[in-house]
Amino acid sequence: MTTRDFLGKENYNISSETVSESCPSNIALIKYWGKYKDQIPANPSISYTLNHCKTNTTIEFLANEVFSVQTFLSGNEEVKFAEKIEKYFKNIEQYLPWILKGKYIIKTENTFPHSSGIASSASGFGAIAKCMMKLDETFSGKDSDEVSLQKASFLARLGSGSACRSLYSGLVVWGESDEVEGSSDLFAVKYSDDEIHSVFKDFNDWVLLIHEGVKSVSSTVGHGLMNTNPYAERRFQEARENFVPMKEILKSGDMKAFIKLVEHEALTLHAMMMMSDPAFILMKKGTLEVINKIWDFRRETELPLFFTLDAGANVHLLFPNDGSEEKIKTFIENELLQHTQKNGVVKDVMSF
Ligand code: PMV
């Protein structure tokens, strides 16, 4: 597929409609950090889609009114978000030619705490893209479910790169990789469930809310700083190469190798931030304390508790339901929760 394949249909018939959609968040195992023009990722990434952390969105489209966007987050009007969506809609007009021919009232709610620092842009743009595809199908006719989902992923990517992975459940790849058939820089694809060992299909992600609130450097700025980072090319290459062991690990169920690779990816992401100019650090004291406690715990018990990080201070605690989870959960409650700001933890599982 090329960008041209996603261009909108010339014939459409608009009417006032209200549509609702829901989309989960995701957490990357091999990270996307660095991009080119038009949200083309500098390297492929793979993520788990979550189950409970979701954004629910309702869009009211008032046909033939002057184009404008009004947004509400949990009932409160959000002017800054509306400006962002207005820009986004103008940017995707070539793919949805009717998009500027009306007024929008967008109501959105997250199932996770707003201030938690859990990325809401992935689930948020995922839900908006799904709503827009629903409107598009009403106005221009329906495509097959597969094409429609792919276009939703394509549109979500143009809102927030990682959002394009949230359209699919299970493990999801975005960015061209020789290791994943059909993978693309333009949209995400589902990683075949048949290629995943059962131990990776029943997995927990407990997010420790180390620092609630707005982070000091946004993802947009962070991606941009990769343009001048002297280690960027090596990093992009490494992420590409990491798909080779990742594919083998997912197939064989090699938990030890999985843990090593996933933690390495998380630390590399943050190392890139520290090697940017200007440098920045998103981890907090609690992040490091938790990481060290996890390593001690693993050394002592050999139980499969490990971590990943996104672009923030929170720690995603990953562990399988393989019989060891009760001991791990007790350890988290007794030893790790104390490093959060307000005993904050969001308990999620991977969606399979
Ligand atoms: O989609 P963005 O621009 O918010 O970037 C997200 C980047 C990471 O969360 C740090 C990694 C990833 O692959 O999701």
CATH number of 201-351: 3.30.70.890
Distance CA 140, CA 96 (A): 9
CA-angle at 20, arms to 2 and 41, nearest 5°: 30
- 59, 128 contact by CB (below 8 A): yes
pLDDT at 97: 97
pLDDT confidence bin for 116, thresholds 50/70/90? low
The percentage of the chain sitting over the pLDDT mark of 70, rounded to a whole number, equals 99
- Write the pLDDT tens digit of every residue in 139-169: 999 989 999 999 999 999 999 999 999 999 9
How many angstroms separate the alpha carbon of residue 223 from the centre of ligand 1?
A: 9
For the purposes of burial, counting CB atoms within 10 Å of the CB of 182, is it exposed (0-12), middle (13-18) or buried (19 or more)? exposed
The domain segmentation of the chain, as residue ranges, is 3-194, 201-351
Between strands 45-63 and 102-110, the pairing is antiparallel
- Indicate which atom in ligand 1 lies nearest the CA of residue 121: 4
**26 φψ region: left (φ > 0), alpha (ψ -120 to 50), beta (else):** beta
Q: Which residue minimizes the CA distance to atom 9 of ligand 1?
A: 310
How many angstroms separate the alpha carbon of residue 45 from the centre of ligand 1?
A: 9
- Indicate which atom in ligand 1 lies nearest the CA of residue 27: 14
pLDDT at 213: 75
Distance CA 336, CA 349 (A): 18
Place of tokens 């995707």: 92
Kindly state the average pLDDT of the residues 348-352: 93
Pick the closest to residue 338 from 232, 208, 251 (CA basis).
208
Higher pLDDT among residues 259 and 218, named by residue:
259
Coil/strand/helix, residue 315: strand
Least confident of 64-68, 83-87, 112-116, 247-251: 112-116
How many angstroms separate the alpha carbon of residue 238 from the centre of ligand 1?
A: 17
**Strand boundaries in the chain, DSSP class E:** 17-30, 35-36, 40-41, 45-63, 68-73, 76-77, 102-110, 171-174, 188-190, 203-208, 306-309, 315-320, 345-349
pLDDT at 117: 66
Radius of gyration of the chain (CA): 20
Say how many CA atoms lie within 13 Å of 308 toward its Cβ: 22
Q: Confirm or reject CATH 3.60.20.10 for domain 3-194, answering yes or no.
A: no
Coil/strand/helix, residue 120: helix
- Indicate which atom in ligand 1 lies nearest the CA of residue 45: 13
- Indicate which atom in ligand 1 lies nearest the CA of residue 35: 3
How many angstroms separate the alpha carbon of residue 174 from the centre of ligand 1?
A: 11
Residue 20 vs residues 65, 107, 157, 218: alpha-carbon distances, Å = 20, 9, 19, 28
Say how many CA atoms lie within 13 Å of 119 toward its Cβ: 28
- Write the pLDDT tens digit of every residue in 96-110: 999 999 999 999 999
Q: Which residues line ligand 1 (CB under 6 A)?
A: 28, 31-33, 45, 119, 121, 160-162, 219, 223, 269, 310-311
- Write the pLDDT tens digit of every residue in 54-95: 999 999 999 999 999 999 999 999 999 999 999 999 999 999
Place of tokens 């500027």: 100
pLDDT at 115: 64
Phi and psi at residue 245, in whole multiples of 5°? -65, -35
pTM above 0.95, yes or no: yes
How many angstroms separate the alpha carbon of residue 33 from the centre of ligand 1?
A: 6
Report whether pLDDT(124) > 70: yes
How many angstroms separate the alpha carbon of residue 71 from the centre of ligand 1?
A: 23
How many angstroms separate the alpha carbon of residue 91 from the centre of ligand 1?
A: 20
Bridge partners of 349? Answer: 204
CA-angle at 33, arms to 32 and 37, nearest 5°: 95
Tokens at residue 22, please? 């829901």
- Indicate which atom in ligand 1 lies nearest the CA of residue 269: 10
Report whether pLDDT(2) > 70: yes
Q: Which residue minimizes the CA distance to atom 4 of ligand 1?
A: 219
